[in-house]
Amino acid sequence: MTDSLLQKTKALPRPENYFEGLDWRSEFLPRDVLCFSRTSQDHRTDGWEGISVKTGRYDQHARFVLLVALEGDGRVGIESEVCDLRVGEVILLKPLQIHYYVELPEKFCWLYVTFGLEQNLPEFPSGPRPFSVALNGQLEKFFDLYEKEDAVNASSSLGKILGAVAQTAVRPNKAKLSEYGTLVVRVKEYVMGDLSGDLSLEKLAQIAELSESHLRAIFREETGVSLGHFVKSVRLVRATYLITEGVKLPEVAKQSAFKSLTSFTRAFRRMYDMTPSEFRGKKKR
């Protein structure tokens, strides 16, 4: 026992409250942090390795995703909204939030940081936010810790970045939706609001108050993908979540509004180049 430790112990002040002390729960401490970059379009559809506009794929992850545009402007769809993502901006995607790529530049470098988080981030609307010079410095510090595999300090560093990002305001989307754009948003919200309901072309045309042929035409013009592809993609995104939650495949097909397990398996293979069973096995590894 050293004299120094003895003196410090005797000098400890009397606690004002014997049932409350220092607690890290007020900080954001991400877990299972993974960083990677995307620098080119990849038109493959096997899994989530590719990033492409041409696939028209709608993704949804059970983790948070911090997306930082370091080089190259693009357009990203989040749920029923489409927003521009400019160099020096960041988008924070919440778990299970559907997103897709509308437009990508020929040359770009986008950083992805995915992670789990036990605490709740403050309520925040989706959209691009400015990534300040100060945050750039914090991000470089985080990288250094991440590369050293210093999990505790890297988590603390990333948590400070998340707290700062969550407090910044979303840049208003200057592009005002056209009349048709507003109708497309209404259709998208209806589809994502009730995947087990009637999502037939006839029903969606009623929602948009347009003829079926007119709705198909304006949906493709506004989004770059067909209405049928959009509906099927969102259903499959829902299916991937149910599979990871351990739901049995026949029930997954039913809750994703496929007529049969066979039609569900066929659609899943076409989208992800693997069967639902193979996907489940891959997620268990």
- Residue 240 belongs to domain spanning: 179-284
Question: Are 45 and 145 in a shared domain?
Answer: yes
Question: Are 186 and 139 in a shared domain?
Answer: no
Residue 17: inside a domain: no
Residue 3: inside a domain: no
Starting at the edge strand found earlier in the chain, the sheet holding 89-93 runs 31-38, 109-116, 64-71, 89-93, 129-130
Question: Are 103 and 208 in a shared domain?
Answer: no
Q: Rounded to whole angstroms, how far apart are CA atoms 165 and 3?
A: 45
Rounded mean pLDDT, 118-124: 71
Residue 210's domain is classified under what CATH number?
1.10.10.60
Residue 113: inside a domain: yes
For residue 279 the two structure tokens come to: 């996907």
User: Residue 91: which of 118, 110, 71 has the closest Cα?
Assistant: 110
Residue 9: inside a domain: no
Do 248 and 285 touch, CB atoms closer than 8 A? no
- Among the candidates 167, 187, 222, a domain finishes at 167
Least confident of 79-83, 137-141, 216-220, 250-254: 79-83
Residue 218: inside a domain: yes
Q: Rounded to whole angstroms, how far apart are CA atoms 37 and 52?
A: 14
Residue 70's domain is classified under what CATH number?
2.60.120.280
Q: Rounded to whole angstroms, how far apart are CA atoms 94 and 165?
A: 13
pLDDT reading at 118 higher than 60:
yes
- Among the candidates 137, 167, 197, a domain finishes at 167
Q: Give 176 or 156, the one with higher predicted confidence.
A: 156
Question: Are 204 and 100 in a shared domain?
Answer: no
pLDDT tens track for 204-236: 998 888 898 998 888 887 776 788 888 888 888
Rounded mean pLDDT, 134-161: 91
Number of folded domains that form the chain: 2
For residue 98 the two structure tokens come to: 């559907």
Question: Are 262 and 225 in a shared domain?
Answer: yes
- Among the candidates 141, 167, 193, a domain finishes at 167
pLDDT reading at 85 higher than 70:
yes
Which residues pair with residue 113 across a beta bridge?
Answer: 35, 66
Residue 140: inside a domain: yes
The percent of the chain in helix, strand and coil, each rounded to the nearest 5, is 45, 15, 40
Residue 262: inside a domain: yes
Question: Are 96 and 146 in a shared domain?
Answer: yes
Residue 83: inside a domain: yes
Do 59 and 98 touch, CB atoms closer than 8 A? yes
pLDDT band with cut points at 50, 70 and 90 for residue 114 = very high
The per-residue pLDDT for 111 is 93
Least confident of 93-97, 118-122, 137-141, 176-180: 176-180
Question: Are 270 and 163 in a shared domain?
Answer: no
Q: Rounded to whole angstroms, how far apart are CA atoms 12 and 28?
A: 28
Question: Are 41 and 161 in a shared domain?
Answer: yes
pLDDT reading at 44 higher than 60:
no
Question: Are 80 and 142 in a shared domain?
Answer: yes
Question: Are 161 and 184 in a shared domain?
Answer: no
Q: Which residues of 14-43 are buried (b: 16+ CB within 10 A; e: fewer)?
A: eeeeeeeeeeeeeebbbeebebeebeebee
Question: Are 120 and 39 in a shared domain?
Answer: yes
